[in-house]
Amino acid sequence: MLKKIAGGVCAAKGFRAAGLHVGVKTHNVNKKDVALIVSDVDCSAAAVFTTNVVKAAPIHVTKAHLADGKARAVVCNSGNANACAPQGEENAEKMCAAAAKAIGCKQEDVLVASTGVIGQTLKVNVIEEGMPKLYSLLKASEAASDAAAHAIMTTDLVKKEVAVETTVGGKTVRMGGIAKGSGMIHPNMGTMLCFLTTDCAISPAMIREALLETAKVSFNRISVDGDTSTNDTCLVLANGMAGNAEITEKNDDYAAFLEALKALCVDLARAMAKDGEGAKHLITCNVAGARDEAQAEVIAKSVISSTLTKAAIFGCDANWGRVLCAMGYSGEQFDPEKVDVHFASAAGDIAVCEQGRGLPFDEDLAKKILTESEVEINIQMAEGDGVCTCWGCDITYDYIKINGDYRT
């Protein structure tokens, strides 16, 4: 049975974590800026990365280190993206080398990530100097996961941390994750970093397959602002310490593992959308009755990515025309005269469009519904049995303020 538990990336057996301010961020010494996650034993590992053609140096290094499908640790800094920067890959490798020396493992078994300002040289020396202390802080505790989660944050207002427990092959399996992401987020790995740990025994090939399947229905279904970052990375490490028979094929054990991984990542994806820069509303778009899932996904993504729809939700304006318009330019062909639209939240549900035409509705009730912090746009297309859910957020004045002076 799948259930949520505490512990984040330290919930699974054999994983320790830490977070520390070493000096990458110079404007606030109280903000942690380097995280370290370490397994007691070697892990099967996999990753998915940004689709942006411009990729940060840590992505190239991590891809190379994952060639054998194995890893032992993850090191990540915030405050500097190490993207399009002088000595980028050299400095990323130096981060791995410093972590490997402290841990006592091979440099190639350390995966690396960075987030922050693009184009500036990473002060890798402060990371190297701070690594012994960071390593000394490693613990297998909820507080340690919390420290790591805070160390990877940039403009995030809240940490993103989840853990779940399930049964695989008769054994209790745990998995946990931390993530960061608030701006530059758009479907197809969107600005996000996510680090997942599990004590499940699963082969490198199968964990990669599971991560690819999971990313499609979680991180690739969120959007904050339409921008896809240079640094987006999601890493998963599985150390096998749960003691289940290793998953090497798509069987019942794989299905149980996949169910848990998807639940974990959907929670983290929703948290990122909800914490969009300056956002006041989490927007969930549910599309049903599409020709198939693929069509439903394209349409739901178009709606949550629509700047005008985001603005309407910010203003608590039940402007369903924005929704139909976003559907219409999605690139998908459908019959607008079959479309129904409802707005819903904890305050109620209201029909605003039926068969492509506006309905008379209570504006006061609609405003009350859209004033809630989490709102739903529910679309029925009456063309098939395809369904999909995507998540986004409203756009506010604060988004402009945050990004107008991001470098300073």
Q: Would you please indicate which residues are annotated as catalytic (active-site) residues?
A: 191
Neighbours of 87 (CB within 10 A): 14
User: Which strands form 357-358's sheet, in the order they lie side by side?
Assistant: 222-223, 386-393, 282-290, 374-380, 340-345, 348-354, 357-358
Cα distance between residue 80 and residue 21, in whole Å = 13
Distance separating alpha carbons of residues 373 and 391, to the nearest angstrom: 13
Tell me phi and psi for residue 358, to 5 degrees.
-65, 145
Radius of gyration of the chain (CA): 22
Task: Say if CB 76 and CB 115 are below 8 A apart.
Answer: yes
Q: Give, for 283, the enclosing helix (H) or strand (E).
A: strand 282-290
Q: Which of 129, 151, 150 is nearest to 33 (CA)?
A: 151
Residue 223 corresponds to which amino acid? S
